[in-house]
Amino acid sequence: MPGQDLDLQAQRGCLAIDGNRQMLACLGKRLVAFTEHEEDCRELWDYPARGHTPGAPIVGRDGNIRIHSGDGMLHCVKPDGEQAFAAKVGQPLGWASPLVDNDEHTLVSAYTGGLLKIDNKGARSNQAFFRSRQKLDSTGVIHHGTLYIGGEDAFVYAIRLAGSRGRNEWNQDKNHGKTEWFINTAIAYHNELFIVAGRDEFLYAFDDKGQQIWRLHLRGQMLGSPVVDADGNVYVGVSLEKRGEESRGTMVCVKGTSHAVSWEYDAGAAIESTPVIGDDDTLYFGDNDGVIHALDLDGQVKWTQNVGSPVRSAGTITPTQRVVFGTDQGVFVALATGSSGLAKGGWPKFLGTLEQSGTTGRR
C-alpha cells in the first residue's frame, strides 16, 4: 500500500470506503486515499496531519472524511483530498472514533471527559456539548437523533443530540445502561437492542430506554467489539490469560434467540480484532499471533492465513473481494475472499452502517 515505507504505528482502526469507492486509511501522520489497480494499489491523494490518528477515518453523509489526530485537531477532508476545515478539539482517545450525525455535525469524545460537537463548517462552542467527568471512551451508535456511547464509569449514556447542549436520557440512579466495569469497545445495534461488551466479562443487551434485556458471562476479556448477523446472532472475540501460561482466544457465537453460547472456536492466540461478516456468510477476524481466520457462521473453518504480525484491528471488505485488516507493523493486509461486500442486515462490522462507517455495499 502507498505509504508503507513510513515509520508507522500499530493499526487498531480499520479501512473506510467512500461513495466513490476510494479506500481510505490513516498511515503514519497521513490520510491516504487509494484504489486497487491490477492487483496493486494506486495512491489517489494524501492529506498530511501533524499527529498519529488512533481511530478509523469516518465518512459523513456529505461525503467528507473526518479524522481526529494527535495534533489535537479534527480534520475534515473533501473526497478529492482538499481540506474542508480543521477544528481544535484536543488530544484523541485511544478507543473512541468521532461520529457524524444527520446534520453533518461531528461528535468527538473529549480527552478530559464529555462530548464535543463541531458543526459542518468547523465551528464549536467554547463549552462542552455534553458535560461529564467521565471519558466516553468507546465508539457509539447514533440512532434516531440520540448517541448511545459507553463511559469509563461502567454506564452506557443515551445523549440527545438536538439543541445546543446534550442531555443524558437514561437515568443512572435507576441503573439504566449499567454494567459492572468500564466500556471501551464499540457498541453494536440490532433489532432495537444495543449490544455492549463490558470489561467485566459480561455481554449486555439494552433496549432504547436503558433497561437490561439480557446479559451473558463470557469468561475472559472482550477486547474487540461485537458484530451481529441478520438473525441476531452475536459474534465477539474473548481473550483469556492465566499467570504462567500463554494467552488464549476464542471466537464466541451467542444465539440471538436464547442469548446462550451457540458455539466457540479456539483461535489459539488472544483475539483483540473486531470481526466482519461477508455477504457469503463468512466471518473474518485476526488474532495476536498474526493469523487471519475465515469461518462459516456455524463456526467451521474455511481457511486461515498467517500475515506475520499481530492483527488487533477491525476488518473491512472491499468491492474487489478483499478482506482487509491492519497489523501491529502499521500496515494493512488484503486477502482475496469470496465475499463481494458486507452481509445484508444485522451489524456486520465495526461502525456497521453506511452513515457511520463510510462503507459501500450497505442497504
Lookup: cell for 183: 466500556
Burial, 280: exposed, middle or buried (Cβ in 10 Å; 0-12, 13-18, 19+)?
middle
Residue 146 located in a structural domain: no
- Bridge partners for 47 per DSSP: 31
Give CA 54 to chain center in angstroms.
Answer: 11
Residue 93 located in a structural domain: no
* Predicted local distance difference test score (pLDDT) of residue 7: 57
Residue 133 located in a structural domain: no
Residue 286 located in a structural domain: yes
Residue 27 located in a structural domain: no
pLDDT in tens, 259-299: 999 999 999 899 999 999 999 999 999 999 999 999 999 99
Number of domains in the chain: 1
What are the residue ranges in the chain where pLDDT is below 50? Answer: 1-5, 354-363
* Predicted local distance difference test score (pLDDT) of residue 357: 44
Residue 197 located in a structural domain: no
Q: Which amino acid appears at position 253 of this protein?
A: C
Range of the domain at 236: 232-363
Taking CA atoms, 153 is separated from 51, 62, 95, 134, 217, in Å, by 28, 34, 15, 6, 19
Residue 139 located in a structural domain: no
Long-range CB pairs of 170-176 (<8 Å, 24+ gap) are: 170/209, 170/210, 171/210, 174/210, 176/206, 176/209, 176/210, 176/211
* Greatest CA separation for the chain: 58
Residue 137 located in a structural domain: no
CB 74 within 8 A of CB 86: yes
Whether pTM > 0.85 for this model: the answer is yes
* Predicted local distance difference test score (pLDDT) of residue 228: 97
Taking CA atoms, 7 is separated from 13, 229, 331, in Å, by 17, 37, 10
* Predicted local distance difference test score (pLDDT) of residue 102: 87
* Predicted local distance difference test score (pLDDT) of residue 336: 94
DSSP 124-139: B-SS-SB--SS---S-
> SS3 of 116, please?
strand
What's the first-to-final CA gap in the chain, in angstroms? 29
Q: Measured between alpha carbons, how far is 294 from 281 in angstroms, rounded to an integer?
A: 10
Q: Indicate which CATH number applies to the domain containing 341.
A: 2.130.10.10
H/E element holding 355? helix 354-357
Burial, 324: exposed, middle or buried (Cβ in 10 Å; 0-12, 13-18, 19+)?
buried
Upper half-sphere CA count for residue 29 (Cβ side, 13 Å): 9
Nearest to 295 by CA among 227, 355, 195, 353: 227
